[in-house]
Structure 1
């Protein structure tokens, strides 16, 4: 993937998720589908920068975010989105908005753990941070063939330095934006989990 010129994807991600976290933390309004899907779409280039190991995640994630963006034209909040699927008895149906919301949430969680591991790991390799993030979030939901393909793809990951160049970031600025995303995405991820858990739907399907 080519360098992103004057774009600052990490800064854009950080700012968008700050706004969503403020809504969650205020506890006075539901998270709306439109700003949520917009913020999530900013994560897509990051998957692209990680190369072949996360190609499956990029394709799946982009499609699910697109579905939520489309849903935002007629559905106001994430809560209303679940309620609509429950009423139609389509909540766990493949391709339902609620199912897609769960998949997108996993993408957000994987990036959160990847950033945590990148900040905690010395050296220039992304293999350990990416492997740990994949193992925690995606591996339990994938069959043997996908897990094997991802493991092979881990050897083709960019280095940390290459990734930061693609994202148009210096190490110091990237660290600040990553820490911001880690802090702001955590309450949002918990909020989404709780939407499902409060309705006794679980989050592992």
Structure 2
């Protein structure tokens, strides 16, 4: 993934995009969330993984690929619900490369960023090692093999400082804190919405 452009505002973009998704997720009158809107919002999250460096290189590549698949699927599938229903009918929900399986992977990536921001907001100092480690252990590590977990653990020592990360985001700390909290708040109902799509069909989410 290319580095963040010098004039880009990735935190502002994901804050705005997920506020829109959250309003859909929380609106009982809305029949379903559009796949195009969801995948477009997720593309704004992609550069954040790249800003974390080699520690999350695998997560970045995996997340970007899965988001791209959902974006391409949105050309012919209107909603998240209809996408899952189609995979259920084709008996390929858990098949590697299926849209539904990729959606689950994307959801975990979004959750890791949510947790990273949560921990960053309450952690003193400049190091991102502890917030990133906690976020990874909770959101992604349970689904990764030993080799990937070891690579992430080693890569944590190469993470940028909080100040360096904010420079990459083209934000000062006060504004960044507001935008990170906005994402945390907005992402939570979106993740719950996606979870419900799985649990309501007895598909589970631990695979």
Q: Compute the TM-score of the two structures, normalised by the length of structure 1.
A: 0.98
Q: Which runs of 5+ in 1 are unaligned?
A: none
The one-character-per-residue Cα deviations of 1:107-164 (angstroms, maximum 9, x if unpaired) are 0000000000000100000000000000001110011111111000000000000000
Specify the SS of the correspondent of 1:5: coil
Specify the SS of the correspondent of 1:31: coil
Residues 50-89 of structure 1 mapped to structure 2, 5 A cutoff: 50-89=52-91
Specify the SS of the correspondent of 1:26: coil
Match of 1:113 in 2: 115
Are 1:130 and 2:132 counterparts? yes
Q: Alignment length, in residue pairs? A: 205
Cα RMSD after superposing both structures: 0.9
**How far has the Cα of 1:195 moved from its partner?**
0.4
Determine if contact 1:61/1:107 at 8 Å carries over to the other structure.
yes
Determine if contact 1:3/1:165 at 8 Å carries over to the other structure.
no
Determine if contact 2:4/2:47 at 8 Å carries over to the other structure.
no
Determine if contact 1:51/1:156 at 8 Å carries over to the other structure.
yes
Match of 2:197 in 1: 195
Q: Compute the TM-score of the two structures, normalised by the length of structure 2.
A: 0.97
Would you identify which runs of 4 or more consecutive aligned residues in structure 1 move more than 6 Å?
none
Classify 1:38/1:2 alpha carbon distance in 2 versus 1 (closer, same or farther; 3 Å). Answer: closer
Match of 2:15 in 1: 14
In structure 2, C-alpha distance between the alignment counterparts of 1:164 and 1:62, rounded to whole Å: 21
In structure 2, C-alpha distance between the alignment counterparts of 1:137 and 1:3, rounded to whole Å: 24
